[in-house]
Amino acid sequence: MAAHDENCPSVPAAPAGTEGVVDQASSVALGAHGLVKTFAGATALAGVDLAVQAGTIHALLGGNGSGKSTLIKCLAGVYQADAGTITVHGEDIPVRQMTPRRAREAGLRFVHQDLGLFDGLTVAENFGLDSGFPVNKLRGIRWEALRRRVDELLASYGIEVRATDPVGTLRPSQKTMVAVARALADQQDSEFALLLDEPTASLPEDESRELMAALRARANRGQTIVLVTHRFREISEVADDVTVFRDGRVAGRGPVAEMSTATIVEMMSGAPRMEESSSGTNRPVHPAQRNSHPDGSSVDSPAPLFEATNLSSFPLSGVNLTVAPGEILGLAGLAGSGRSTVLRAIFGDAPLNSGSMNLNGVSHQPSSPADAVRSGIAYVPENRHRDAAFLDLPVRENVSATVIARYWRRFVMNRRLEREETQDLILKHSVRTDGTEQPISRLSGGNQQKVILARWLRRNPRLLLLDEPTQGVDVMSRRDIYRSLRSSAAQGCGVLVASSDLDELAEICDRVLVLVEGRVAAELIPEDSGRDVLAAAVMSAAPDHPAPQEGP
């Protein structure tokens, strides 16, 4: 193995939490040595080393574009690295010989964000599509044998799902565990390494914890796991070791027990982390504090910017809420609680059964999303690829989509003005791109989200609605997005954020409403109550059965 960077802590020989597999943990199950990968002259990996101890969970961290995904694809044989060696259980494999088939033969298994499961098929049928269907002498499928084998596999993994269940009826965490079981179906515990790329990116906290507990149990039984994630809480709870990437290089590595969140952020960003809360300059300020005299006496609070009364639209039932000018209000709750439905109802995308809404003191009854936009409302949806980004179009056209009329001059588009203003927005929102004409599909998830946010903020909306605004977004892009939201709030825009990330709600929101089965169950001020109280309010409402889905 190439020598480690002397500034990086070395990987320990026996990570904590694997006492039951000491003989395995004493060896490297998966290693990468001096991996180099370039694309059209741009260096994506610059001599990367990685050492993953057997029977441990090893976290890979780094901003979007730092090299994590490129490394995973080189290990999977999807990309061929230009130089270096990959080692699997002591066997050295030159990178130019690594193909998807060779990776599988070596015992590497991968579960990507797109799980590759078909909702319309049963669990057993999804397994069969991956590993083949057992057949009889007449080449007919032995369905009973397939279902029995899959049921046994699911039971061995502790997954409370049946082979005959349609995948579309499963909870997100169950789908992920089914994908894990399917990937490992033809291996024994000590023979493989499992690599997961952001498996919890779209999971609420309760299901994320469920999945992490299952992975920890697998590691304790000898499973070697590499976990790519942006959630620091998951790392501290289940990972043994961490490797941090920045600009195609290893910026740091070591046991999780010795790596604080601040240290990891500093490694990822390459600059000392600002302790924003120490000075108070970047902490959210509750509207009641904004409207007080220096001596502490209060003044009359302004009228609500937005007010909803008795909103009912499945699964919502009698929801009341207000958003003050300049306030960031959060919506928390388990899957199916109605978080997204609140935003869609305000945006005219979900019809109301009953209730009323007012915007700036005027009745708000949008007949369509276009009607809501004309009223001064902007909406950043949860699924940016499906509902927000025009993936085949450049950054310029994505940013201009909401103000296209301003560039028409006598039936001719003023492309020069459009490019100039797009470039200004790229700088303002810290979008990392090769230029205004780069297709948005070529940007990282965090930069795509910043482009979509810039598209709406340029309209100076009165009310901004965001659903999972930093889902799958790295820590640096997350900070940029939070900065943009606080800047908009400081100018009087009301912001309503629905998120399953409780750390996010605690950091940026003035108030948080906790929804339970379509009703407001609690109202909290994170600055006073703290993140743990918020988590308790959400988790105490966890139902014994899967919550109803809110629809597409």
432 or 13, which is more confident: 432
pLDDT band at 20 (very low <50, low <70, confident <90, very high): very low
Secondary structure element (H or E) that encloses residue 224, with its range:
strand 224-228
**DSSP per-residue letters across 143-174:** HHHHHHHHHHHHHHTT----TTSBGGGS-HHH
Q: Phi and psi at residue 10, in whole multiples of 5°?
A: -80, 155
**Mean pLDDT of all residues in 59-83:** 86
Please give the Cα distance from 267 to 259 (Å, whole number): 10
For residues 221 and 19, what is the distance between their CA atoms, to the nearest angstrom?
10
Pairing of strands 83-88, 28-39: antiparallel
Closest CA to 327 of 508, 522, 454: 508
- Reading the block at residue 339, the tokens are 């978080």
Domains within the chain, CATH numbers bracketed: 1-107+189-240+251-272 (3.40.50.300), 115-186 (no CATH), 285-376+461-552 (3.40.50.300), 387-459 (no CATH)
Q: How far is CA 357 from the centre of its chain?
A: 31
Tell me which residue of 456, 513, 447 sits closest to 488, measured CA to CA. Answer: 456
Q: Which residue has the higher pLDDT, 233 or 245?
A: 245
Q: Do strands 511-516 and 328-332 pair parallel, antiparallel, or not at all (unpaired)?
A: parallel
Total residues found in the chain within this entry: 552
Q: Which tens digit of pLDDT belongs to each residue from 458-509?
A: 999 999 999 999 887 877 888 899 999 999 999 999 999 999 888 889 999 9
Predicted confidence (pLDDT) at residue 383 exceeds the cutoff of 90: no
- Strands 241-246 and 57-62 come out as parallel
Query: Among 191-205, 247-261, 481-495, whose mean pLDDT is lowest?
Result: 191-205
Confidence of residue 539 (pLDDT cuts 50, 70, 90): low
* Start-to-end CA span in the chain (Å): 49
What DSSP string runs through 86-126? EEETTEEEEGGG--HHHHHHTTEEEE-SS----TTSBHHHH
Residue 14 has pLDDT above 70, yes or no: no
Band (pLDDT 50/70/90 cuts) for residue 186 is low
* pLDDT of 347: 96
Residue 171 confidence (pLDDT) = 79
Quote the pTM value: 0.63
Hunting for tokens 């088939």 — which residue is that? Answer: 101
Q: What is the mean pLDDT of residues 178-189?
A: 74
d(CA 477, CA 456): 17
DSSP 487-515: HHHHTT-EEEEE-S-HHHHHHH-SEEEEE
Nearest to 464 by CA among 531, 375, 336: 375
pLDDT at 300: 52
Residue with more model confidence, 117 or 345: 345
Per-residue model confidence (pLDDT) at position 291: 45
Q: Is 141 helix (H, G, I), strand (E, B) or coil?
A: strand
Dist. CA 15–CA 26, nearest whole Å:
9
Confidence of residue 321 (pLDDT cuts 50, 70, 90): very high
Residues 6+ apart with CB under 8 A from 416: none
Average pLDDT over residues 42-55: 90
Q: How far apart are CA 278 and CA 36, in angstroms?
A: 41
Predicted confidence at residue 170, as pLDDT, reads 86
Q: Pick the range with the lowest mean pLDDT from 226-240, 269-283, 313-327, 378-392.
A: 269-283
Average pLDDT, the chain: 82
With cut-offs at 50, 70 and 90, classify the pLDDT of residue 299: very low
The dihedral sign for the CA sequence 379, 384, 390, 393: positive
Torsion angle in degrees (nearest 10) through CA of 138, 141, 146, 148: -70
Considering all CA atoms of the chain, what is the largest pairwise distance in Å, rounded to the nearest integer?
Answer: 88
User: Is 70 in contact with 79 (CB distance < 8 Å)?
Assistant: yes
In the 3-class helix/strand/coil scheme, how is 231-256 assigned residue by residue? CHHHHHHHCCEEEEEECCEEEEEEEH
Which of 182-186, 398-402, 444-448, 488-492 has the least mean pLDDT?
182-186
Measured CA distances, 194 to 23, 197, 230, 392 (Å): 19, 10, 18, 33
